[in-house]
Amino acid sequence: MLRVGVTGGIGSGKSTVSHRLAELGAHVVDADAVAREVVEPGKPTLQRIRERFGAGVIRADGSLDRAALAAIVFPDRDALDALDAITGPAIAARAAQLRASAPEGAVSVYDMPLLVERGLWVHEHLSVVVETDVETRVRRLVEQRGLGEDDARHRIAAQATEQQRRAVADVVLDNSGTPDDLERAVDDLWAERLEPYAVNLASGTRSRRPDHATDVVVEPRADWEARAERVVARLAAALAPTGVVTEVSHIGSTSVPGLLAKDVIDVQVGVHRLADADREDVRRALADAGYVFSHGNHSDTPHPLDADPSGWVKRFLGGCDPGNHVHVHVREKGSAGWRFALLFRDWMRHEPAERDAYAAEKRRLLALHHTTSDYVEAKEPWFEGAWQRATDWAERSGWQPR
């Protein structure tokens, strides 16, 4: 099941996006609706709210007076945190029940205003952020929901900033245009990314780029580091319960600022023992996070070439997301392959001349080899010399893997 978190500031239009996704076939759970459900009369959550905020937030019929509660919590950060501590666990538990009821292979959408604030985005395969400028949001809240302007601004200020949401956004939907514009953007997202991603997950199929080197290798892109940070965070969260991981790191050419590369995010997962990667709970966690083991790719070329090949054994996985191609290299902490992945990245970051020399070699090989597989294989002789220069640099600088 593909998990998609939809979020955005109050008044941004995220509910419109979720409604359209439901029309397209998604199974949608609305956190606001769940939040209303868990504070219905007779629910223990409502009693805890009464105990914390007083009888003034309860109407004569025993229901929650939302306006009275909002007037208390939105101007006061501590009060808002106290409310979240009461309602958050109840909302999460009920939302989990509802999402678990989705059909197998479905696109499960969680419409959640506090997806970023609570760090819940790491448990979603994709985070979709709906954006609208603040003044438009204030106007909508005043005109469409009847809020006072000060109240609207307090509510907006209590939520995550645009920068914080963008940091975790795999997709940003701009809702500053017409309703038709937004609907078309959602339809495109569904057809081009969500549906194919869900199919890949259900079938255990990794997403692949075309095997044409000149199309795959591109100039440096500004979003590589942010994309990698989201992959690293999600993998770390998925694997944390297994207890096998020592670190998750962005590696490879996309981790080196200014270096052209295949538009593929490479991530290394360090484990205590490589055999841990074959455990059932680890494989299940990786599959649930959207990564598929690739059979027949179990080692890297040793460096130097006469080195013990056992130090270069790994497990290799590919991501299922057609909109963000990811390779995951699982290596044993302390092994030669694990160490070199980190050393190569840091060496390239600290030695611009070496980075530029590598870029020049890439361009030379791209002119000679048309398929990505041939291009990758042709780089191996260069890596033999690079391994020695990187090792020398590590000795001179006192570098150690972190």
Q: How far apart are CA 266 and CA 318, in angstroms?
A: 10
DSSP E strands in 178-244: the ranges are: 217-218
DSSP 400: -
Residue 286's nearest CA partner among 298, 269, 263 is: 269
> How deeply is 82 buried, as exposed, middle or buried, from its count of CB atoms within 10 A (0-12, 13-18, 19+)?
middle
Residue keyed to tokens 């992945």: 341
Tell me, what amino acid is at 127? S
Q: How far apart are CA 303 and CA 382, in angstroms?
A: 11
Question: Is 311 annotated as ligand-binding?
Answer: no
Q: Which two tokens stand for residue 395?
A: 């000795």
Question: Is 333 annotated as ligand-binding?
Answer: no
Q: How far apart are CA 311 and CA 306, in angstroms?
A: 12
**Residues of 231-268 as b/e, b for ≥16 C-beta within 10 angstroms?**
bbebbebbbeebebbeebbbbbbbbbeebbbbbbbbbb
3-state secondary structure of 207: coil
DSSP E strands in 155-216: the ranges are: 171-174
Report the 10 Å Cβ neighbour count for 209.
Answer: 13
Question: Is 205 annotated as ligand-binding?
Answer: no
Residue keyed to tokens 């109240």: 151
Question: Is 108 annotated as ligand-binding?
Answer: no
Question: Is 42 annotated as ligand-binding?
Answer: no
Return phi, psi of residue 36, to 5°: -70, -40
Question: Is 11 annotated as ligand-binding?
Answer: yes
**Nearest 5°: CA angle at 131, between 128 and 134?**
150
CA 347 remoteness from chain centre:
27
Binding residues: 11-16
Binding residues for ATP: 11-16
